[in-house]
Amino acid sequence: MDRLFAPWRIEWVERDDDGEYDCPFCGLPAEEPGDDRENNVLVRGDRAVVVLNNYPYNPGHAMVIPREHTGDYRDLDDETLLEHARLLGRTVDAVDAALEPDGFNTGTNLGGRVAGGSIGDHLHTHVVPRWEGDTSFMPVVADTTVIVEAVAKTYDRLHDAFARQDGTSTPDDGAVRLDRGH
């Protein structure tokens, strides 16, 4: 049997799930802003948020998530679509500035659980940085992915990169807030 030590996952296993939200993506924007670092919320907009993935494919794997609970892109109004698109671009810029990847994969999960892994019916767009040679023998031979940086460290790097972007402000303990002029 192969074992991969991942102690950070115990937080997910032991989480206090009070059932207030059926969808974890709906719960994130409702959490207190002071809990943003703990919840990996990098940016809060009026209509969307940027969250660092708890179980990344690569360091810097983030998601842009509309606040509206829908699995259908066509349900989003124009203002939400615009903010989502702008946050997608800003996320690529922040990851590029903080981690200097060689490229990116982006993709929007639509259509419910079949498209969104363990998150059903709440669309979200993944931003996954890629580096030349980041696919090693581990996924091929051992069906295992190695993440080379702790999620908390990546959060700090991306949080700082978002905070440096024009039009943002940030408290020390929370997500970057969007300046409505940008």
Which residues belong to the active site?
Answer: 124
Single out the residue of 104, 151, 111, 97 nearest to residue 130, CA to CA.
104
User: Residue 65: phi, psi to the nearest 5?
Assistant: -125, 120
Contact predicate 31/42, CB 8 Å: no
Angle between helical axes of 78-99 and 151-164 (0-180°, round to 10):
110
Where b means 16+ CB within 10 Å and e means fewer, 151-160 reads beebbebbbe
| Paired sense of beta strands 103-109 and 124-130, if any | antiparallel
Length of the chain: 182
Instruction: Give the separation between CA 111 and CA 115, rounded to whole angstroms.
Output: 6
User: Residue 46: phi, psi to the nearest 5?
Assistant: -65, -30
